[in-house]
A and B are shown apart, each in its own frame.
Chain A
Amino acid sequence: MKTLLLGNEAVARGAWEGGCNVATAYPGTPSTEILENINRYSEIYTEWSVNEKVALEVAAGACFVGARVLVAMKHVGLNVAADPMFSMGYSGVTGGFIIVSADDPGMWSSQNEQDNRYYARHAKIAVLEPSDSNEAKLFTVLGFEISEKLDTPILLRLTTRICHSLGVVELGKRKEHNVGAYVRDTKKRLLLPIHARLRHIIVEKRLQKLKSYSDRFKYNRIEWGGKKLGIITSGIAYQYAREVFPEASFLKLSLTFPLPEKLIKRFSRAVKKIIVVEEGEPIIENELKAMGIKVIGKEKIPICGELTPEIIRDSFAEKKRSYPKKKMPLRPPVLCPGCPHRGVFYIINKLKLTATGDIGCYTLGALPPLNAMDTCICMGASVTNAQGLERAGGREFSKKVVAVIGDSTFFHSGITGLVNAVYNKANLNLLILDNSTTAMTGHQPHPGTGKLAKGSAGKRVLPEEIVRGCGVEMVRIGDPNNLKETETLIKEAVNFDGVSVIVFRRPCALLVKPSQPYWIDPEKCIGCQLCLKIGCPAIGLKFPDDREKPLAVIDEVLCVGCGLCVQVCPRDAITNKR
C-alpha cells in the first residue's frame, strides 16, 4: 500500500516498521514531527526529553539492554548531544541505534547552517542520507539493521526539504524486535581509558568494514545516462540535479560515510567530466579530491544557503536569469496577536533595559517596534551571558540588565546557568516567560506542563520550585498581560541585589479560545499611535475619508481579545462592547 507522507512522518513510520522500541527527542525545527508521529504507535516508548543530551543518553541506556532506539533532533541539538554521541561512537551498539540529525540549510528556523555530516566523520559513525520520503522510511528500517550488523550508531541525516516535503511512500509491516535481557559488558560500555584505547582500534576496523559495505550497499547506485557528464550527489540535491541535468549519468549516494570508494572510481572512469552537486559543505567533493578524482563542485555551486534547482541551473548557465527587483515590504515572523510574551517586552523597552535573550517564539521580541532583546546565541545563553555582562560591565550596569528565557528553554539548559549565578554571587535578573508549552516548535509538552509525550499525565515540575531549590532568594510570579504588575515586578527585580527570578505565567495564545475581538471607536481615537507600540499584527492604521490623520483600527479576523492594547490607549478608545 502507498500513501503520502512528509519526510518526518516517513521516518516515524520507518521506526515503527523497523521494530523500534524506544524513541526520544527534544523538539527543534525541522525535526519535531518525527517524535510527534512516533507518538501514535503504542508499541514504541516515546518521550520528550528535557534536552538533546538527555535524549541521546536515555536512548543509549535502552540500547545497552538491546532495544532498537531512535533519537531525533535538529542540527544544533547535536551540539548539545555531541558528548554522548562521541562516546557511543566508541562504545558501539547492542540494539540498533539511530541518531536523526535534521539540518537546516537556508536557516529557515535556526541560528546557523552547520553541516552535520562532518560530525559523523568526527565521531566515526555511519551516515545515511535519504533524498525523499520513501527513502526516509526505507533508510530508517535499514538503519537499525546496519547499526546492529556493523556495531555502529547511524547518523540519519535529513535536511529541511526532506523533513518537510511530502511524497509517496510504500508502506510495510512492523517487524517486532525482541529487546532481550541486559547483559553486562564493561569493556564495551565503561569507557575508562584502558577500555577506550581498545575500542578505538575496534572503531578503526569497523570503518574498514563499513567502507566495503558502502561499496555493496544497493542504494549507492549508478543510474546510467550519457557519458559526457557524470553527477555525483546525495540527499535532496539528487532530486534537484535530476531536473537540471536530464542527460547525465548519476552516482546517487545514500550511505555517504564512509564513501564507496570502489564504486566512485568505477563511475568516474566511465564519464568524461564530473560535477559534485552537494548542498552545504564540500564534504563529498573534498573526499573525492583526496581520492585523486578531478571534480567540479563548490567553485560553481554556493556553500551558503539552501540549494534549489534554480540555483544549480544558474551555477552552470552562461547567463544567469534575472528578475526585476521589486521593492516590497518584508514580512518577518511576529509575535502572534494575544501572545503573552508581548507585555514583558513592552515593559523592557519602556524601561530601556538591556536584555540578554534566548531561543523561542520570544526571540521575536527583538524585532521592532518592541526592540527588546540584545543577544541570542544558543539555548540557555541568556542566563550565562547576563552573568558575563555583569562580570565585565560592573554591578551598576547589571542593574539595567535582564535575562529573558522561555519555560522550555529554562528546562533545556537554563538551570545550570542559574545555579552558576547563585553560586558565584552574581547580580542576575532572570525573567522566565512561562507560556506553559514549547510554542516555537508547535506546542510540545515539557516538565512544566506535567503532560507526557503521548498525552497522559506525568509529574509536573514547576520552574519556581526549581528556582527556589537553586537558592534564589527573590522569586515572584506575575501575569504578563497586566502591564502595571509587569512593570512593578521588573522594577523590583532590577533593584534587588543578588539573583532574582520572575516567572511570567500565561498560556500561549494559540492554545486558548479567542475572546471577543476588540474594536477602536473612531470618535475617540486621536491617532496617537501608542497602541502600535505593542507590535500587535491585528492593529493597523486607516485613513478615514474626512480626516488627514490616520486612525488605529483592529482587524477582526486576527484579534483574539487579549486586551493589552486597551491598557496603553490614553483615550479609552478600545473596547469589546458593541
Chain B
Amino acid sequence: MKNNNKNIVICGVGGQGIILASNVLCYTAFLEGYDVKKSEVHGMAQRGGSVITHVRFGKKIYSPLIEKGGADFILAFEKLEALRYADYLDKNGVIIVNNREIVPVSVLVGSEKYPVDINKKLKRYRKAYLVDAEDTARSLKNFRVVNIILLGFLARFLKFKRQSWYESIKKYVKQKFVDLNIEAFNQGISLNR
C-alpha cells in the first residue's frame, strides 16, 4: 500500500457535508492528473450516524479503501469521530480535527459517556491540528460551509493549484453559493493552526 499514493480519510457525522467535501477533493486530484478512487457512505448512516469516506489518489489505484495505519491525512469534522477512526492514521500522518462536539444520542440517554479530555487525547498524535471551523462559518453567516473551510485547511498540505480547487468547487456547488464557498475555502487555507 505504501508507495507514492496519497490516502486521506474524511470522517464525521452524517449530514455534515462530507460527501461534498470529498467530491471536491477527488475532482481536484483528478484535474491534477492523478488516478483517483473514493469510497463513501450513503443510506442509513447518513441520518446522523458515524460516517467515514476514503479518498486515494496516485499513479494507479486499485482498492478504494485505505488500510488501518495507512492514511497520510485524517480530516475529521467532529472530535469523537476523529478518535474513532484515528487507527487509520499512518505514524507520520497528519490529523486535522474540527473543534466540535456532537453528542451522540447514546450519550444523551445516559448509556454511554462522551470521552472527557478528548482534546488531550487528540493532541497525542504527533501532527494534530484542532481547527475552529464553526467560528469561521458563523462569521460567514452559514454553517453549511464548515466542510469547505476544513477542506481549505487540508489544502495547504496538498500541492494542488488554487485554480484546480476553484474549478472543482464550481463543479460541485450550486451556482449561487460558489462565491461563498470559495471565500470559505480561502479562509480555511489561512486559518490559524
Residues of A near any B CB (own CB < 8 A): 3-4, 6, 29-30, 32-33, 108-109, 132, 161, 164-168, 236, 239-240, 242-243, 308-310, 313, 321, 323, 326, 328-336, 361, 364, 367-369, 440-442, 532, 535, 537, 539-541, 555, 557-558
Q: Is B132 among interface residues, defined by CB-CB distance under 8 A?
A: no
Q: Which B57-94 residues have C-beta < 8 A from chain A?
A: 62-65, 67-69, 80-81, 83-84, 87
Q: Which of these, A109, A331, A369, contacts B44 with CB under 8 Å?
A: A109
Q: Is B103 among interface residues, defined by CB-CB distance under 8 A?
A: yes
**Docked CA distance A361–B49 (Å):** 12
CB neighbours (8 Å) of A310 from chain B are 65, 67-68
Q: Is B117 among interface residues, defined by CB-CB distance under 8 A?
A: no
- The answer to whether A333 and B67 have CB atoms under 8 Å apart is no
Q: Contacts A368-B105, A440-B44, A537-B102 hold; do A333 and B49 have CB atoms under 8 A apart?
A: yes
**Docked CA distance A557–B146 (Å):** 11
**Docked CA distance A558–B100 (Å):** 12
Q: Which of these, B23, B65, B80, B111, contacts A328 with CB under 8 Å?
A: B80
The segment from B35-43, B123-131, B154-162, B175-183 that touches chain A is B35-43
CB neighbours (8 Å) of A330 from chain B are 50, 104, 106, 112
- The answer to whether B49 and A4 have CB atoms under 8 Å apart is no
Q: Can you list 27 contacts pairing A with B, beta carbon distance less than 8 Å?
A: A3-B30, A6-B40, A32-B42, A109-B44, A164-B40, A165-B64, A166-B26, A166-B40, A166-B64, A168-B30, A239-B62, A243-B67, A308-B65, A310-B65, A326-B84, A328-B80, A329-B80, A330-B50, A330-B106, A333-B49, A334-B47, A334-B48, A336-B48, A364-B47, A368-B105, A537-B48, A539-B108
- The answer to whether B63 and A329 have CB atoms under 8 Å apart is no
Closest chain-B Cβ to A107's Cβ sits at a distance in Å of: 9
Closest to B49 in A: A333
- The answer to whether A368 and B47 have CB atoms under 8 Å apart is no
Closest to B23 in A: A166
User: How many B residues touch A, CB cutoff 8 Å?
Assistant: 51
CB neighbours (8 Å) of B42 from chain A are 29-30, 32-33, 109, 164, 442
Q: Is B150 among interface residues, defined by CB-CB distance under 8 A?
A: no
Most buried by B among A108, A166, A328, A330: A166
Closest chain-A Cβ to B66's Cβ sits at a distance in Å of: 8
Binding site secondary structure of chain A: loop
CB neighbours (8 Å) of A361 from chain B are 47
Closest to A131 in B: B62
**Docked CA distance A17–B124 (Å):** 52
Q: Which of these, A164, A331, A369, contacts B39 with CB under 8 Å?
A: A164
Q: Contacts A165-B37, A329-B80, A557-B143 hold; do A309 and B63 have CB atoms under 8 A apart?
A: yes
CB neighbours (8 Å) of A555 from chain B are 102
- The answer to whether A326 and B83 have CB atoms under 8 Å apart is yes
Closest chain-A Cβ to B108's Cβ sits at a distance in Å of: 6
- The answer to whether A321 and B68 have CB atoms under 8 Å apart is yes
Closest chain-B Cβ to A329's Cβ sits at a distance in Å of: 4
- The answer to whether B134 and A535 have CB atoms under 8 Å apart is no
- The answer to whether A168 and B47 have CB atoms under 8 Å apart is no
Q: Which of these, A165, A308, A336, contacts B47 with CB under 8 Å?
A: A336
Most buried by B among A309, A535, A555: A309
**Docked CA distance A528–B134 (Å):** 30
Q: Contacts A336-B15, A537-B102 hold; do A109 and B43 have CB atoms under 8 A apart?
A: yes
**Docked CA distance A215–B189 (Å):** 54
Q: Which of these, A108, A239, A541, contacts B43 with CB under 8 Å?
A: A108
**Docked CA distance A330–B49 (Å):** 9
Q: Is B20 among interface residues, defined by CB-CB distance under 8 A?
A: no
Q: Contacts A441-B43, A557-B143 hold; do A166 and B36 have CB atoms under 8 A apart?
A: yes
CB neighbours (8 Å) of B108 from chain A are 369, 532, 535, 539-541
CB neighbours (8 Å) of B23 from chain A are 166
Q: Is B188 among interface residues, defined by CB-CB distance under 8 A?
A: no
Most buried by B among A310, A333, A558: A333
Closest to A108 in B: B43
**Docked CA distance A368–B110 (Å):** 10
- The answer to whether B63 and A242 have CB atoms under 8 Å apart is yes
CB neighbours (8 Å) of A168 from chain B are 30, 35-36
Closest to A330 in B: B106
Closest to A364 in B: B47
- The answer to whether A4 and B48 have CB atoms under 8 Å apart is no
Closest to B87 in A: A323
Q: Contacts A329-B80, A540-B108 hold; do A29 and B67 have CB atoms under 8 A apart?
A: no
Closest chain-A Cβ to B123's Cβ sits at a distance in Å of: 16
**Docked CA distance A557–B1 (Å):** 39
Q: Which of these, B1, B67, B109, contacts A369 with CB under 8 Å?
A: B109
- The answer to whether A537 and B40 have CB atoms under 8 Å apart is no
